[in-house]
């Protein structure tokens, strides 16, 4: 068995900000009338596929109704490679338009997906796709190229959906726990253990045999649930995108709620700044303020859309450690001046 590294050797993180959500690179035909305007329209459709419901990106009439002048949302553009145009849109303005229309919005903060992909090329050639291998011999180079092509199919559709994806390093630590046979044989418990070092909450396991009529088999693990799929990588990664969007996207007509959140472990200026940046980066939080400070524990009042369960998940995904919630009825009224609040979330910050 040959183990090939063909992925992203990045430090493990819980949730990944995707800075390219509001940019797109589109083919530009300079001979076409209004070529830039047409490119802006196509780029906007690409962006909406990442940040709103799939139904919207497939409805050109509704897109035209909501965004009659896509150029008004463009903040930067430049020529790209191979006759393309790179376009960057005003993300806040697009989100505002979507929310006013009651459309769903999926923001920048997204869970990381790790992909364990085993490939049986036939004639005894079996490989796991992971981070780049720099083998120099010709046979290894040819094998690496075909793996990169397969990997790129996964990365391309992930980029179109705005999904942060990594492949395992397959270093010594991984190889102690995972083999090709583990992936192919469906021994996914070992993969779940091996995925912990990457701190990925979304785990996709693929088994592909390109030279066979046997259909590709996939297992997906997220939020304590398992799903099984059959199909090409593009279809399966799109299904992952649909599932995560349904989990994290927030409807523009979702009511605004006020939640109390206590965060302990804030014992330095650096810790305070990190927590403030974390909260400011969560799209479901409209605004937040500090209501009290006691030792290393800060109480925040947060106005948010999407409900307390989504806030809880978002804070966990961003590395805060959840403690038990507190029933406010056990405390004096001065701790909870708003009678409508009957629970606060308890989290701990640990850098």
- How far is residue 226's CA from residue 203's CA, in Å, rounded to a whole number? 10
172: left (phi over 0), alpha (psi -120 to 50) or beta: alpha
Please tell me the predicted confidence (pLDDT) of residue 12.
38
The structure tokens 């009678």 sit at 339
* Range 87-105 average pLDDT: 93
pLDDT at 6 over 70: no
Q: Which carries the bigger pLDDT value, residue 302 or residue 351?
A: 302
- Which residues partner with 300 through β-bridges? 261, 290
**What digits encode the pLDDT tens for the residues 65-82?**
999 999 999 999 999 888
pLDDT at 336 over 50: no
Please tell me the predicted confidence (pLDDT) of residue 310.
86
**What digits encode the pLDDT tens for the residues 259-284?**
999 999 999 999 999 999 999 988 88
First vs last C-alpha separation in the chain: 39
**What residue spans define the domains of the chain?**
2-9+110-248, 19-106, 254-348
pLDDT at 132 over 70: no
May I ask the CATH architecture of the domain 254-348?
2-Layer Sandwich (3.30)
Alpha-carbon dihedral sign for residues 117, 120, 124, 129 = negative
* Range 314-331 average pLDDT: 69
Total Cβ atoms within 10 A of residue 224? 5
Q: Which CATH number is 2-9+110-248's, of 3.30.43, 3.30.70, 2.30.29, 3.40.50?
A: 3.40.50
Q: What is the mean pLDDT of the chain?
A: 85
Q: Which carries the bigger pLDDT value, residue 218 or residue 58?
A: 218
Burial (CB count <10 Å: 0-12, 13-18, 19+), residue 263: buried
Q: Which carries the bigger pLDDT value, residue 14 or residue 59?
A: 59
Band of residue 55 on the pLDDT scale cut at 50, 70, 90: confident
Structure tokens at 65: 């109704």
Please tell me the predicted confidence (pLDDT) of residue 337.
43
CB-based contact 128:3 (threshold 8 Å)? yes
Highest mean predicted confidence (pLDDT) among 146-150, 175-179, 218-222, 246-250 = 218-222
Domains 2-9+110-248 and 254-348 share a fold: no
Please tell me the predicted confidence (pLDDT) of residue 330.
38
- Which residues partner with 321 through β-bridges? 348
pLDDT at 327 over 70: no
**What digits encode the pLDDT tens for the residues 201-235?**
899 999 999 877 788 999 999 988 999 999 999 99
Model confidence pTM above 0.85: no
Rounded to 5 degrees, φ, ψ at 156 are: -65, -45
Of the candidates 147, 42, 33, 155, the one whose C-alpha atom is nearest the C-alpha of residue 89 is: 42
pLDDT at 11 over 50: no
């Amino acid at each position: 068995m040959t183990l090939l590294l063909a992925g992203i050797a990045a430090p493990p993180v819980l949730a990944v900000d995707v800075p390219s959500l509001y940019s797109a690179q589109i083919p530009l035909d300079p001979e076409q009338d209004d070529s830039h305007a047409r490119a802006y329209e196509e780029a906007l459709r690409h962006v909406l596929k990442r940040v709103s419901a799939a139904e919207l990106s497939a409805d050109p009439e509704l897109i035209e109704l909501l965004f009659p002048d896509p150029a008004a949302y463009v903040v930067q553009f430049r020529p790209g490679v191979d006759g393309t145009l790179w376009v960057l849109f005003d993300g806040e303005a697009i989100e505002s338009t979507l929310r006013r229309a009651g459309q769903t919005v999926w923001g920048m903060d997204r869970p990381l997906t790790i992909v364990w992909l085993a490939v049986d090329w036939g004639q005894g050639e079996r490989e796991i796709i992971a981070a780049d291998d720099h083998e120099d011999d010709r046979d290894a180079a040819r094998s690496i190229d075909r793996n990169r092509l397969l990997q790129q199919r996964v990365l391309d559709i992930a980029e179109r959906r705005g999904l942060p994806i990594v492949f395992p390093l397959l270093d010594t630590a991984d190889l102690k726990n995972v083999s090709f046979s583990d992936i192919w044989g469906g021994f996914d418990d070992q993969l779940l253990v091996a995925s912990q070092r990457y701190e990925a909450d979304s785990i996709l396991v693929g088994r592909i045999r390109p030279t066979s009529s046997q259909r590709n088999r996939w297992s997906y693990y997220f939020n304590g649930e398992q799903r099984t799929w059959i199909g090409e990588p593009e279809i399966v990664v799109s299904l992952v995108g649909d599932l995560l969007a349904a989990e994290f996207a927030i409807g523009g007509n979702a009511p605004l709620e006020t939640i109390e959140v206590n965060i302990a472990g804030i014992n330095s200026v650096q810790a305070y700044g990190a927590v403030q940046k974390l909260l400011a980066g969560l799209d479901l939080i409209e605004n937040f303020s500090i209501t009290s400070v006691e030792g290393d524990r800060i109480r925040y009042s947060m106005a948010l859309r999407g409900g307390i369960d989504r806030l809880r998940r978002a804070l966990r995904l961003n590395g805060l450690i959840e403690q038990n919630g507190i029933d406010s009825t056990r405390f004096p009224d001065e701790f909870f001046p708003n009678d409508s609040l009957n629970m606060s979330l308890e989290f701990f910050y640990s850098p």
